[in-house]
Structure 1
Amino acid sequence: MGTSALALSGAAGGNLITGELSRLLTTAALGGVTFDIIDSREAAGRRVQRFLFPERPVEDQKFQDFGTTDQPIRITGYLAGDDYVLRAQRMRKVFLKAGSQTLVHPWWGRLRVRLIEPGEIQFSATRIRIAQFQVVLVRDPGPSGSKGLFAEITDTLTNLLEEADALVDEATLAVQAVLAPLAIPLALSSMVGSLLSQASGIWDSLTATAPQPLQSGIASAQVTLAAGVSAPVTNADTAYADSVTAALAGVPAAVVDAITDPSTSVIAPAQQVEGETTETVDAQTVANILLSGAVQIGAVADSLSSVTSVPGEALALGVVARGLIVSQLLGAWGSLTFASGADAVAARERFIAAIDALLVDLENAASSGVGVSLSGLWVAVQAARTALIADCSSQVGRLPVVVSVPLKTTVSAWTLAYAVAGDDVTQVQGVFDDLVTRNGISHPALVGPGDIEVLEQTS
């Protein structure tokens, strides 16, 4: 997930430091979806009516001024990256949304706008990983409306992935704002280098004992993070900020990409095979790594803020690093499987705790005096939190219930499994495996006495 760092438009020439500043103005966002802008046109003026009279000289013409007028803003942009289809789906929803929306324009700033014509999204076989779109907007100073948190959410998992992608967008904008000075101060570049270096050490430690497919999948991202990002002499565009964002996001994204499904392939590289067993990476392992990484990198940012002369920026970048991890964590949620509703709720609570910790860090960063707005990031995190709760709630209703069975004497686990499964013998094996694992039973023939948790199956 994330925006493209490619320059999709030609360099401006002549002035503004020979066009260097113009390349800074390439990132925009509409309705929370960031994109690379290549063309923007707008006309503005006054509504003037000209009157000419028959058989009278042109000097006798009259004018009536009806005030100012804003003509439509016509934008052409690109959605580029591995997630370009998902981002195009989000942009399509922006086009369909009623009312005014926020446009972050690289030249005009933050505007409230309305769509007045259907937007067009174009895919092409000659442009893989890029979707082009055109949209026509008008400025709208009126207040925006709110439809509530759960309005029009039909596919909870897709909505969750879209909110996770929106979180990446806001994190990208936040890094660009923090690292915007034309001349990066030494203290700021030093702090960024320390954050990347310590983050690299954390991921190395967390993945040292991970399955081989995961270690292979993240190797390239680890090299990039360990190498760090050198601050340019003149910070004339967003390349430095985008490189920092990519370095922070690379390992978490690669960790999620390493999730494997053992049923989809029977062939693996030799280094991924132990004996006759192919190593796989399950979503729970990935979630545990990301949860630990979020906590430790958040602690690194707190430590850096106490020793650097730019504490606000350190906390802000720490929030971004943690936010990028959380966005990938939400991506891993869709790969998790739950045996019961209680298991889903327990996993949700771990994820919610990570999001709430991110919100605390965000509030601390905002109150530290950092000179950039983090409101967009806060809104994105809250929306992701809501989407996670919604998707978990939809799953809980479809999952079996865990019940507690009091046993007065010792019985066989098989006897208990048959009793719980009832007439459906196809469920016996699943019930047996779950109760042995769930209760930590060392000898299936000796279960009880006491309360035993079992999975209640529905026919």
Structure 2
Amino acid sequence: MSIGTGFLGSQLGLTGGLAASPLSSILSVASWRGVNFYMPNSREAAGRRVMQMYFPGRDDFSMQDFGQFDGPIQVRGILVGDDYVLRADRMRKALLARGPATLVHPWWGALRCYLLQAGQIEFSDNEIRLARFEATFVRKPPASVSSGLFSNITDTLTNVLECGDALVDQGVLAMRGLLSPAVIPLALASAVSSTVTVAGNVWSAATASAPEPVQSATQTSLAALQTGIVAPAGNTDTTYADGVTDLLVNVPAAIAGAVSTGTTSAIAPATQVADGSQTTVDPAQATTLLLDGAAQIGAQAQALSVKSLAPADVLVIGLVARAGTVAQAMAAQSAMTYASQSDAIASRDTMTAALDALASDLTNVILAGAEVPTAAMSGAIRDARAAVVADISSRLGRLPRVVAVPVPRQMSAWLIAYAVAGVWDDLVSRNGLTHPALAGPGSVDVLETSS
């Protein structure tokens, strides 16, 4: 099938893509450093690094295996649209950039890759509004992990953090895909402004009653979020898209960054000083604050989309904001310690429910017909959910169970704690006792120390 200039010129309905063209059903969308393109085909080498060795006087040979060969990925891409020269220039800059980046592959998903060889960009006067390029990538080697007794514990925690990072990465790509037009339409600019305002209102209310460290940590990023961002007259790169993403994610990132993982004092909580003010933030506090904020942003973005002239765009922006917030909540949760199995399971269920709600937001984006890649985001949410479950499950076997101790009459919690090997602090907080001397009658939940 030949692609001629007349066919593309007559069928192209949207600047910068083939959304309205019959070709959109047969070409696969890909991305390198946020520059979207179509990938008709891809080629990859994979195998073993073996050396064939011969010896004098012998007809046979020996083979030496030096490990896996995760070979180069050869990509052919096409850039289509009225702004094809601009997109080719953006791709050229992306190919010139240093270090690893995310290659969104239509078949392999999101891959962390290095550019192995210089890319080749091709124009032709027989193909107006179309540029071709070829590039060769190689997958970034996975980070080495420790082995031994504690390797599984470390692996599950690292996996949670990596999945959270991948979730943020997919949000960045989704925002870049949404805000890729050379000229931002008024409806899209209005959708960005309205959703940013919604996020600003949510975090302003949430941090107003938060501990002082959260207020201090979020002061600068919250002020920037409330100020908002103005769409540029010429959208020639990803600066605008990345600026919007930064506004939406920086406040949650500051909250997660304010978390303290220090141990508490045996006399008084280390997070408090003499006047009762809080100086650090407990991971559980930060996780709850972040997940509450994520839920509110999702609900308000959904309500805003009903009134917006660009409902699908509002849903995408809300999805990016919620994904970034949930990712930061995952980071905060990874620093939590649990007193019992039931506490860990409750924390797990809360986080998986937040990820399930994020997946529902993604479904709404798809149903609204948003013109952004969604398959990789769906995979990132799925992987994040599995990572959270695996991390909590690895801790359960080392935690005590909670058992119900019958208390026939009202008595001091000291007596109960003494009877079950002294779990005083946990007994008072777990049962919400207003006065430690008045526990029961009824059942009182205590840790089963023998487990």
2-structure distance, mates of 1:376, 1:225 = 27
2-structure distance, mates of 1:38, 1:387 = 31
| Structure 2 length-normalised TM | 0.68
Say which of 110, 126, 133 aligns to 1:32. 110
The residue that corresponds to 1:441 in the other structure is: 433
The residue that corresponds to 1:129 in the other structure is: none
- 1:161 matches 2:230: no
Say which of 443, 446, 451 aligns to 1:451. 443
- 1:406 matches 2:398: no
Say which of 126, 135, 142 aligns to 1:93. 142
Please report the RMSD computed on the Cα atoms of aligned residues, expressed in angstroms: 3.3
Instruction: Give the 3-state SS of the residue equivalent to 2:337 in structure 1.
Output: coil
The residue that corresponds to 2:281 in the other structure is: 281
The residue that corresponds to 2:236 in the other structure is: 236
Instruction: Give the 3-state SS of the residue equivalent to 2:102 in structure 1.
Output: strand
1:323 and 1:358 in contact (8 A); partners too = yes
Deviates more, 1:438-447 or 1:449-458: 438-447
Describe the shift of the 1:74–1:291 C-alpha distance in structure 2 as closer, same or farther (beyond 3 A).
same
Report the alpha carbon displacement of residue 228 of structure 1 after superposing the two structures with TM: 1.4
- 1:346 is matched by which residue type in structure 2? A
2:312 and 2:369 in contact (8 A); partners too = yes
2-structure distance, mates of 1:310, 1:37 = 36
2-structure distance, mates of 1:153, 1:276 = 36
2:117 and 2:137 in contact (8 A); partners too = yes
The residue that corresponds to 1:301 in the other structure is: 301
2-structure distance, mates of 1:264, 1:223 = 32
Report the alpha carbon displacement of residue 309 of structure 1 after superposing the two structures with TM: 2.2
Deviates more, 1:15-24 or 1:333-342: 15-24
Report the alpha carbon displacement of residue 277 of structure 1 after superposing the two structures with TM: 5.9
- 2:398 is matched by which residue type in structure 1? R
The residue that corresponds to 1:327 in the other structure is: 327
- 2:440 is matched by which residue type in structure 1? G
Alignment deviations for residues 99-146 of structure 1 (CA, whole Å, 9 cap, x no partner)? xxxxxxxxxxxxxxxxxxxxxxxxxxxxxxxxxxxxxxxxxxxxxxxx
- 1:16 is matched by which residue type in structure 2? V
2-structure distance, mates of 1:185, 1:227 = 21
2-structure distance, mates of 1:4, 1:16 = 17
Alignment deviations for residues 129-185 of structure 1 (CA, whole Å, 9 cap, x no partner)? xxxxxxxxxxxxxxxxxxxxxxx9971111111100111111111111111111110
Report the alpha carbon displacement of residue 189 of structure 1 after superposing the two structures with TM: 0.6
The residue that corresponds to 2:201 in the other structure is: 201
Instruction: Give the 3-state SS of the residue equivalent to 2:142 in structure 1.
Output: helix
Instruction: Give the 3-state SS of the residue equivalent to 1:167 in structure 2.
Output: helix
| Structure 1 length-normalised TM | 0.67
Say which of 71, 85, 91 aligns to 1:16. 85
Report the alpha carbon displacement of residue 41 of structure 1 after superposing the two structures with TM: 3.9
Unaligned runs of 5+ in 2: 1-31, 35-83, 104-108, 122-133, 146-151, 266-271
- 1:371 matches 2:363: no
Instruction: Give the 3-state SS of the residue equivalent to 2:383 in structure 1.
Output: helix
Report the alpha carbon displacement of residue 278 of structure 1 after superposing the two structures with TM: 5.5
- 2:110 is matched by which residue type in structure 1? G
Report how many aligned residue pairs link the two structures: 339
The residue that corresponds to 1:227 in the other structure is: 227
Instruction: Give the 3-state SS of the residue equivalent to 1:330 in structure 2.
Output: helix
Unaligned runs of 5+ in 1: 6-14, 44-71, 77-89, 97-151, 266-271, 422-427
Report the alpha carbon displacement of residue 42 of structure 1 after superposing the two structures with TM: 6.9
Describe the shift of the 1:258–1:452 C-alpha distance in structure 2 as closer, same or farther (beyond 3 A).
same
2:200 and 2:226 in contact (8 A); partners too = yes
1-structure distance, mates of 2:225, 2:33 = 18
